Amino acid sequence: MGEMRRDAQISETMQSLRRIFKALHDYSQEVSNTFGITGPQLWALKIVSQHPGLALGELSRKMYLHPSTVTGVIDRLESKGYVVRDRDSTDRRVVKVNLTRAGQDLVAKAPNPIQGKMIYGLMKLSEDELNIIYESVKKLAEIAEVENVKVTFFFDQE
């Protein structure tokens, strides 16, 4: 009986991971095909739309991404005309990001980013629930021998 339960748990764990990967991949494809931008670019636009004039460093914290990754995302969005960068009037080292009219229009039409849904869901968990998921996912990365693989973002080259 214990072996069947263990097999069922392994099977359902693998199925759940496949569902998550498929949803992330499908979302990235849909955003790319429909709007011509990547999932991370849309996510950045959504966050900036909620926090106009957000500093780049704060944007990277809200996205849980390295600042250099976010700078690359913003570079591409700026070249497409969706955002502008402005220097802070009191501290010229601080770069703030705002949406252009085209960026606002895109955000109004686009779906909510799946990465944001996941982070929001994780933020709502109790400390114990979050710790269980953290330890479990960390262990999965060790099992797959990928804990040292350099990553940027789901299904993107950002």
* Per-residue pLDDT reduced to its tens digit, 86-123: 987 788 788 899 999 999 999 999 888 777 788 889 99
Euclidean distance between the first and the last CA atom of the chain, given in angstroms as a whole number: 47
Whether residue 19 is predicted with pLDDT greater than 60 in this model: the reply is yes
Domain with 94 in it: what CATH number?
A: 1.10.10.10
Let me know if residue 156 belongs to a domain. Answer: no
Q: Which distant-in-sequence residues (6+ apart) come within 8 Å of 83 by Cβ?
A: 44, 45, 48, 74, 77, 97, 98, 99, 100, 103
Task: Tell me the pLDDT tens digit for each residue of 38-65.
Answer: 888 999 999 999 999 999 999 999 998 8
Residues 30, 61, single domain; the answer is no
CB atoms within 10 A of CB 124: 9
Whether 29 and 52 map to the same domain: the answer is no
Q: Is residue 49 domain-shared with residue 103, that is, in the same domain?
A: yes
**Per-position b or e across 64-82, b if 16+ CB within 10 A of its CB:** ebeeebbebbbebbeeeeb
Predicted pLDDT of residue 90: 84
Q: Are strands 54-55 and 95-99 parallel, antiparallel or unpaired?
A: antiparallel
Are 42 and 87 contained in the same domain? yes
How many domains are there within the chain?
3
Mark whether 82 and 52 lie in a shared domain: yes
- Residue 130 tokens read as 């979050």
Indicate whether 81 belongs to any domain: yes
Evaluate whether residue 12 is within a structural domain.
yes
| Claim to verify: residue 101 and residue 43 sit in the same structural domain | yes
Structural domain boundaries, residue 96: 37-109
Calculate the alpha carbon distances from 118 to 55, 77, 99, 112, 146 in Å. 23, 23, 24, 11, 21
Provide the token pair at 92: 């010229």
For residue 49, give both structure tokens: 């739309």
Domain membership of residue 135 (yes or no) is yes
Whether residue 153 lies inside any domain: the answer is no
Whether 15 maps to a domain, the answer reads yes
In-domain check, residue 54:
yes
**What is the reported pTM?**
0.73
Q: Which residue has the tokens 């809200």?
A: 62
Are 8 and 55 in a shared domain?
no
Tell me which residue has tokens 């895109």.
Answer: 106
Dihedral (C-alpha) 141, 145, 149, 151: value to the nearest 10 degrees? -30
Structure-block tokens of residue 144: 């797959």
